Amino acid sequence: MSKMKTYAQVGIKVINAMEWIESLLLLPFKEKQHRGVTHPALIKRGIAFSIDIIVVLALMAAALFIGEKLNIHPFLIVSLTACVGMPLYFVVTTATMSRTIGKIACDIRVNIKGKKNKWLTITLRELLRGVSALILPITVLVALASKTNNTLHDSFAGTYLTVYEDKDK
Rounded mean pLDDT for each run of 10 residues along the chain, 169 residues in total: 75 85 78 88 94 95 93 92 93 95 95 88 94 91 90 93 74
E strand residue ranges, 42-136: 108-112
User: Residue 141 CB: number of other CB atoms within 10 A?
Assistant: 12
C-alpha–C-alpha distance, residues 103 and 19, integer Å: 32
Residues in contact with 163: Cβ distance below 8 Å, sequence separation at least 6, in sequence order: 31, 38, 39, 40, 107, 108, 109
C-alpha–C-alpha distance, residues 104 and 40, integer Å: 12
C-alpha–C-alpha distance, residues 126 and 89, integer Å: 10
User: pLDDT at position 1, please?
Assistant: 55
User: pLDDT at position 27, please?
Assistant: 74
User: pLDDT at position 109, please?
Assistant: 94
> Domain limits of the chain?
40-163
pTM listed for this prediction? 0.81
